[in-house]
Amino acid sequence: MVSPWIVGFAVLTLYPFLASFYWSFCRYDLLSEPKWVGLANYRRISGEVLSGGTLAQAIGNTVYYAVLSVGFSVILGVLLAVMLSWEVRGRAIFRTLCYLPSVVPIVAAAVLWMALLDPQQGLINGILAQLGIPAQGWFQSTSSALWPPAWPVDHAGRIFGSKDGLVLMGVWGVGNLLVIYLAAITEIPRQLYEAAELDGAGHWRQFWHVTLPMLSPVIFFNVVVGLIHSVQAFTQIYLVSDGQGDPAGATLTLSLHLFLAAFKELDMGYASAVAWMLFVVILLITIWLFRTSHRWVHHQGAA
């Protein structure tokens, strides 16, 4: 009964996993047989990173996108979940509206945000204009991001860059996290809030000393999963950058760089080496998060 799944796993997952490891030590163009070159692909990767080449730029863009998108998603998700847990009229409507963006297909969401962030006709720039803020270039801006800040030397008043548009797209789909946070909040024992209130704790202290500690296991889960997904993000980045990481490599991430190396340059050996580097980096980050989780993750009932 499980044989279809076993065959599918072996053919579609296990074999590509092992084959990519072998190809990472080969020169392979998909048209001829792989030729063993040893550590040449990995030496190329280290050289590009040390010289600040395209791969180094892709790593920097990926780190920026992952850290900001995950960070803002966690903060916004927790705050929205707390507010949507309040007993107010129309709470179900507000919950539905906050969750709806997460069910929009990723391609449709990318097209929508390309229209919203259009430098000439976009709604976001129109709102900024009403606030007295100059029009931003967003996905068409060679200024890569809000940080490091370009505005002190940008006389056009452009603050936000291409990667900030990607971060907005990532944060917009916070509805999936919101549902998990809402479920976790409903499981927090009410007597904890009652005890805190008897001790004179206000709403802010209750949130800081009761809600956040009790949500910390869920926050930890969402941070780990969110980092993995953000590092592997591809479809929306491919669409908004015309499949090249444009403009000027400002939206070139590791996943897109890997794709271009494999299927545009037909350098599958190098692309496999980049994929394994990405796998090792994600593994190390995940291990570090688990090793440090005991400092801030509170497990109910633990000593």
Q: Provide CB contacts within 8 A for 129, sequence distance 6+.
A: 135
Reduced to 3 states (helix: H, G, I; strand: E, B; else coil), residue 164 is helix
In sequence order, which ranges of the chain are alpha helices (DSSP H)?
3-9, 15-23, 40-51, 54-84, 91-99, 106-116, 123-130, 162-172, 175-186, 190-198, 203-206, 212-231, 235-240, 254-263, 268-292
Distance set, CA 49 to CA 64, 216, 227 (Å): 16, 35, 21
Q: Is 26 helix (H, G, I), strand (E, B) or coil?
A: strand
Task: Please tell me the predicted confidence (pLDDT) of residue 140.
Answer: 81
Tokens of 272: 């496999």
Task: Tell how far CA 243 is from the center of its chain.
Answer: 18
Interval 60-105: pLDDT, tens: 999 999 999 999 999 999 999 999 988 888 888 999 999 999 889 9
Average pLDDT over residues 26-52: 92
pLDDT of residue 132: 85
The domain ranges of the chain are: 3-295
Q: Is the pLDDT of residue 153 over 60?
A: no
What's 3-295's CATH class?
mainly alpha
What tens digit of pLDDT does each residue of 176-210 get? 889 999 999 988 888 988 899 888 888 899 999 89
130-133 contacts, C-beta under 8 A, 24 or more apart: 133/157, 133/159
Strand, coil or helix: what is 2? coil
CB 272 within 8 A of CB 20: yes
Per residue in 235-281, pLDDT (tens digit) is 999 999 888 888 878 889 999 999 999 999 999 999 999 999 999 99
Distance between CA atoms of residues 44 and 31, nearest Å:
22
- CA 73/CA 77 separation, integer angstroms: 6
Q: Which two tokens stand for residue 295?
A: 């400092």
- Integer angstrom CA distances of residue 69 from 101, 168, 226, 241, 242: 15, 8, 9, 18, 21
Give every CB contact of residue 248 below 8 A, 6+ residues apart in sequence. 142
Eight-state DSSP code of residue 13: I
pLDDT given for residue 279 in this prediction = 93
- Identify the DSSP state of 161: -
% of the chain exceeding 70 in pLDDT? 93
Name the CA dihedral angle for 102, 106, 110, 113, rounded to a multiple of 10 degrees: -10
- Residue 196's alpha-carbon distances to 109, 140, 212, 237, in angstroms, are 42, 51, 14, 46
Residue 145, pLDDT above cutoff 70: no
Query: Whole-prediction pTM value?
Result: 0.88
Q: How sure is the predictor about 300, in pLDDT bands with cuts at 50, 70 and 90? A: low
Residue 36: which H helix or E strand, with range? strand 35-36
Arithmetic mean of pLDDT, 128-154: 68
The answer to whether the CB of 290 falls within 8 A of the CB of 59 is: no
